[in-house]
Amino acid sequence: MANGFPPISKKDMEEMEIDQLDFVYVCGDAYVDHSSFGAAIITRTLEAHGYSVGLICQPDFRDEKSITVLGEPRLGFLVSSGNMDSMVNHYTVAKKRRKTDAYSPGGEMGRRPDYAVIVYCNLIRKVYKHNPIIVGGIEGSLRRLGHYDYWSGKVRRSILLDSGADIISYGMGEISIVEIADALNSGMDVSDITYINGTVYKTRNEENIYDAVKLPDFEEIKSDKRKYAESFAIQYRNTDPFNGKRLYETYDKSLYVVQNPPSRPLTQMEFDDVYQRPYMRAWHPVYDAAGGIPAFSEIKYSITSNRGCFGECNFCALTFHQGRIVQARSHESIIREAEEFITEKDFKGYIHDVGGPTAQFRFPACKKQMKHGACTNKKCLYPDVCRNMDVDHRDYLQLLKKLRSLKGVKKVFVRSGIRFDYLLADSDDTFLKELCKHHISGQLRVAPEHISDNVLSKMGKPKVAVYDKFIEKFDRINKQLGLQQYAVPYLMSSHPGSTLKDAIALAEYLCKHKLNHDQVQDFYPTPGTVSTCMYYTGIDPLTMNEVYVARDPHEKAMQRALIQYRRPENYELVKEALIRENREDLIGFGKECLIPPRKGAGVKFTKPVKGDKKATGRNSRGASGKDSRGGNGKHKSAGKRR
């Protein structure tokens, strides 16, 4: 290979003595040859099976010639927006343009188009009329059937139709992409490749769609929100490779989009193979002058140990993309990767993370999953931990011990998500003790997301009592170890189900526990999640019950402000929310109050007597918006629980 990297130019092809590539991969990200980047995994997997792949990364989407720089591929084009949906990459939840792009050279924004997969595929079709186009990655995967698109506010068709592509390889595509390549290499026409699991194809012949569940027609889900929710529920219950059915959606009564069942999970040997390809573990040197790719710095010395998640939070798309069945690499494979770190001159002895979607998941939730699949109408951890679950941290703990004992490794951090409900279900506290003693440094990030049980039920998260129990245990163990460490909760505002009343309850909880939050995530309706379906339809697709949804930007701003009620700039929003919900009792000088009064507010109040801990004032202005707990908006580090 040219410089050890796959070819990105004709010059590279000449040096590698390649006259024509088998595949040309068009990607919205800059190329980083590392196993945390989907383009690298697919490229190296195809190479391992004897296929040549060249890359056109971030082509000029205004110029069709940019798609021709590697010539016409022998077998077809592969197209992906990159590691993120291009719309999430470009816009905040407020639909404001982001200023930087972590997957572009130097973080430069604007190097890929909106709806990148559609634009790239149409660009290819202008030049190469008949070449097969295979779409993959997160954008293609989560938009594989009719879906609500938050940015346009519409229900859009399958990306397969709007892009003009031939096949979607959805989910984690290592198995399906090789089967597609082998089929094309055998001389099979792309229109005949209809049998591969983990793929979506289109057809005009309904009679050829066998053993399948028919979804509501696209026109139905476009015009009827209840039908949309029904369709989503069917899709959601067919994401398992063992029991998932073939699904199809009708367009214009003569065009059908067919989703085959998901690909099977990788075996441990196959999973190890994926991570032992000859990755350069670096961005392509053409990006050096721009300062490299910011996203790579975040994961350069992190290790992926698993994929899949049986946590199944409603706002997460993992069920649709990676699935619920956990797959894990062997200890030997992970240790080999860590040993590679040690040989690098930039490695300072710190492994930044060892995990995946959920760090401590190393095996399927229970033994039956690998034979019968995940339960169709039951979750593993919600509303309570399933009694059939195998709760065991020993394998993960052994792995961490092996890594931290390597010569040249100073500390191994765990920064992936930890499921505190799963941890509490383990009667053995050894893992939590080891985690506190060796694998965090001052703060552990956990994700209760909210404290209102009403909202948590819509999130698919455990009740707040479970989180409180975890915090008690976490604090107790740290005290036993003589450590001052804090749990920092991730919180989300405006999730479906969250009312202003719920947001105020969350603010009261933060006040009671002296938590000060610097970072808050507004709920972001991205394709492929239960919560996005709730947001669009006002219906929980898993129960078909109605759900309250905060869509008004002003109400959403109030919900967010309540979580950060101490900030002076949020004062008026917090005040408005409290008055609207008749909670003026939280405006005053008492320790339970969220904000102090301000002068000129039109409501009389009595200043507290010195030493009196009780607030007597309501809804008036104080001296200058200073916080009644001795602050001027400046507080100690975020999220510390005292």
Q: 462 lies in a domain? A: no
Contacts of 360 (CB under 8 A, 6+ apart): 393, 396, 418, 419, 422, 423, 431
Q: What is the pLDDT of residue 522?
A: 96
Instruction: Let me know if residue 473 belongs to a domain.
Output: no
Give the end of a domain, one of 414, 447, 478: 414
- CB contact at 8 A, 20 and 14: no
Choosing from 371, 386, 414, the residue where a domain stops is 414
398 within some domain: yes
Structure tokens at 402: 């092996």
Q: Is the pLDDT of residue 319 over 60?
A: yes
* Element holding 77 (H helix, E strand): strand 76-80
What's the chain's average pLDDT? 92
> Whole domain around residue 397: which residue ranges?
301-414
429 half-sphere exposure, CB direction, 13 A CA radius: 11
* 324 and 177 share one domain: no
The yes-or-no verdict on residue 267 having pLDDT over 60 is yes
pLDDT level of residue 417 (50, 70, 90 thresholds): confident
In this prediction, residue 609 has a pLDDT band, given cuts at 50, 70 and 90, of very low
Same domain, residue pair 193 and 61: yes
Structure tokens at 103: 């997957």
Asked if residue 20 belongs to a domain, the reply is: yes
Q: Two tokens at 369? A: 């999953």
Q: Which of 159-168, 560-569, 602-611 is predicted least confidently?
A: 602-611
30-43 residue pLDDT tens: 999 999 999 999 99
* 612 assigned to some structural domain: no
Say if residue 31 is in the same domain as residue 179.
yes
Distance CA 286, CA 106 (A): 12
Residue 346 inside a domain? The answer is yes
**24 plus 139 within the same structural domain:** yes
What's the pLDDT score for residue 516?
85
Strand partners, 351: 412
DSSP string, 495-534: -TT--HHHHHHHHHHHHHTT---S--EE----TT-HHHHH
C-alpha angle 603-605-608 in degrees, rounded to nearest 5: 160
pLDDT at 4: 93
Q: 633 pLDDT band (50/70/90 cuts)?
A: very low
- In whole angstroms, give the CA distance from residue 235 to residue 158: 13
Q: Is the dihedral of CA 509, 511, 517, 522 positive or negative?
A: positive
- The CA–CA distances, whole Å, from 263 to 173, 192, 247 equal 8, 19, 14
Alpha helical stretches, state H, 195-244: 218-223, 225-236
Task: Output the pTM of the full model.
Answer: 0.91
Query: CA-CA distance, 135 to 141, in Å (whole number)?
Result: 8
Joined together, the tokens standing for residue 591 give 């320790």
Assess if residue 79 is contained within a domain: yes
Q: Is the dihedral of CA 124, 126, 128, 130 positive or negative?
A: positive
How many C-beta atoms lie closer than 10 Å to residue 422's C-beta? 21
| Mean local confidence (pLDDT), 484-491 | 93
Which single residue is written with the structure tokens 């082509």?
59
For residue 521, pLDDT beyond 80: yes
Percent of the chain clearing pLDDT 90 (strictly above): 89
Confidence at 126, pLDDT banded by 50, 70, 90: very high
**CA-closest candidate to residue 172, choices 56, 33, 266:** 266
| CATH code for position 49 | 3.40.50.280
Do the domain assignments include residue 460?
A: no
Say yes or no to pLDDT of 459 above 70: yes
- Domain finish residue from 201, 226, 250: 201
For residue 327, pLDDT beyond 60:
yes
Rg (alpha carbons) of the chain, rounded to whole number: 26
3-state secondary structure (DSSP) of residue 479: helix
* Domain at 380, CATH number: 3.30.750
pLDDT in the model for residue 322: 94
Q: Nearest-CA neighbor of 93 among 493, 500, 569?
A: 493
Q: What does the pLDDT read at residue 640?
A: 34
Total tally of structural domains belonging to the chain? 2
Same domain, 58 and 192: yes
Tens digits of residue pLDDT in 341-359: 999 999 999 999 999 999 9
445/486 Cα distance (integer angstroms): 9
Q: Which of 121, 265, 258 is CA-nearest to residue 196? A: 258
State whether 165 and 20 are in the same domain. yes
Tens digits of residue pLDDT in 40-99 = 999 999 999 999 999 999 999 999 999 999 999 999 999 999 999 999 999 999 999 999
- Residue 15: enclosing H or E segment and its boundaries? helix 10-15
pLDDT of residue 394: 97
Cα–Cα distance, 629 to 398 (Å, whole number):
45
Which pLDDT band, with edges at 50, 70 and 90, does 598 fall under? confident
What pLDDT, on a 0 to 100 scale, did the predictor assign at position 2? 52
Does 328 lie in the same domain as 197? no
Residue closest to 360 by CA, chosen among 416, 425, 293: 416
- What single letter denotes the amino acid at residue 244? G
Contact 127, 150 (CB under 8 A): no
Cα separation of 206 and 192, whole Å?
Answer: 14
Q: ∠554-558-561 over CA atoms, to 5°?
A: 135
Burial class (CB in 10 A: 0-12, 13-18, 19+), 609: exposed
* Amino acid at the residue 62: R
Tell me the mean pLDDT in the region 598-604. Answer: 50
Looking at the chain, the whole-number percentage of residues with pLDDT higher than 70 is: 93
CB atoms within 10 A of CB 518: 11
Separation between Cα atoms, residue 241 and residue 324, nearest integer Å: 10
pLDDT at 578: 98
- How far is 19 from 478, CA to CA, in rounded Å? 62
Q: Which two tokens stand for residue 293?
A: 């790719």
Residue-wise pLDDT tens digits, 223-265: 999 999 999 999 999 999 999 999 999 998 789 999 999 999 9
CA angle 130/45/318 to nearest 5° reads 90
Pick the closest to residue 249 from 226, 275, 222 (CA basis). Answer: 222
User: Above 80 in pLDDT, residue 608?
Assistant: no
466-476 core/surface letters (b: 16 or more CB in 10 A; e: else): bbeebbeebbe
User: Residue 628 — pLDDT band, cuts 50, 70, 90?
Assistant: very low
Distances in Å between the alpha carbon of 54 and those of 5, 18, 635?
A: 10, 10, 52
**Whole-number pLDDT of residue 599:** 61
Residues 192 and 323 in one domain: no
Which amino acid appears at position 567 of this protein?
R
Give the pLDDT confidence score for residue 625 in this predicted structure: 33
Looking at the structure, tell me whether residues 176 and 321 fall in a common domain: no
pLDDT bracket for residue 289 (50, 70, 90): very high
Q: What is the DSSP string of 297-355?
A: HHHTTEEE-EE--S---TT--HHHHT-SS-EE--HHHHHHHHHHHHTSTT--SEE-EEE
Pairing of strands 53-57, 154-156: unpaired
